[in-house]
Homo-oligomer: A and B are copies of this chain.
Amino acid sequence: MSTSRPVGHGPLPPLHSAPDADLDDIDRRLLRRLGEDGRASYARIGAEVNLSATAVKRRIDRLRARGVVRGFTVVLDPRLLGWGTEAFVEVYCRERTSPEEILASLRQFPEVVAAWTVTGDPDALVHLRAADMRHLDAVIERIRREPGVQRSRSSVVLSRLIG
């Protein structure tokens, strides 16, 4: 029943040496535990941080209220779900293409797992997930044809090192 998902490296932001977050040591251990198993019971967490289940719940509630804890989610295996191929696409937009327009363009693709506007030559970086190369190719082609998009440069993921 225990999930082994080391944090620090991974989808979670680093907990240790956080510059400033008003977290005490117990909060950090507690969040680390929730990072490893988001369904861990308050009682079990409390046993590990030397706190009663009630105290643990109150701390987590407080962290939720503050917005530090945004919620809880399930971690799935994209490969086993049939989404084994991923890529990053740098998108170069035409002049006068707003982030809103980029967003609107990308929103329609379920293959777009994440996207950011960035500094530098490209305007946006897009993280794609697809079933296979063929699928990936098709999606990239469709993105390139979007009105606001001028050109793009793709990197297919060979292996996930961290995260």
Given contacts A71-B38, A110-B14, A162-B106, contact A81 B120 (CB under 8 A): no
Within 8 A of B (CB), among A86-117: 86, 88, 99, 102-103, 106-107, 110-117
B-side contacts of A56, CB under 8 Å: none
Q: In the complex the two chains form, what is the Cα distance from A107 to B156 in whole Å?
A: 22
Q: What is the minimal beta-carbon distance from A41 to any residue of chain B, in angstroms?
A: 10
Stretch at the interface among A5-13, A47-55, A142-150: A5-13
Is B163 within 8 A of A114, CB to CB? yes
Copies of this chain held together in the complex? 2
Within 8 A of B (CB), among A50-75: 66-75
Is A3 within 8 A of B83, CB to CB? no
B-side contacts of A125, CB under 8 Å: 88, 155, 157
B-side contacts of A162, CB under 8 Å: 103, 106-107, 112-115
Total count of chain A residues near the partner, CB < 8 A: 79
Is B73 within 8 A of A68, CB to CB? no
Q: In the complex the two chains form, what is the Cα distance from A102 to B83 in whole Å?
A: 25
Q: Residue-by-residue, is A129-163 near B (CB-CB < 8 Å gives 1, otherwise 0)? A: 10110010000000000000000011111111111
B-side contacts of A24, CB under 8 Å: none
A residues near B (Cβ < 8 Å) are 3-5, 8-21, 23, 31, 34-39, 66-78, 80-83, 86, 88, 99, 102-103, 106-107, 110-120, 122, 124-125, 127, 129, 131-132, 135, 153-163
Q: Given A39-B39, A106-B162, list of 5 further CB < 8 A pairs?
A: A11-B114, A18-B82, A35-B74, A69-B77, A117-B158
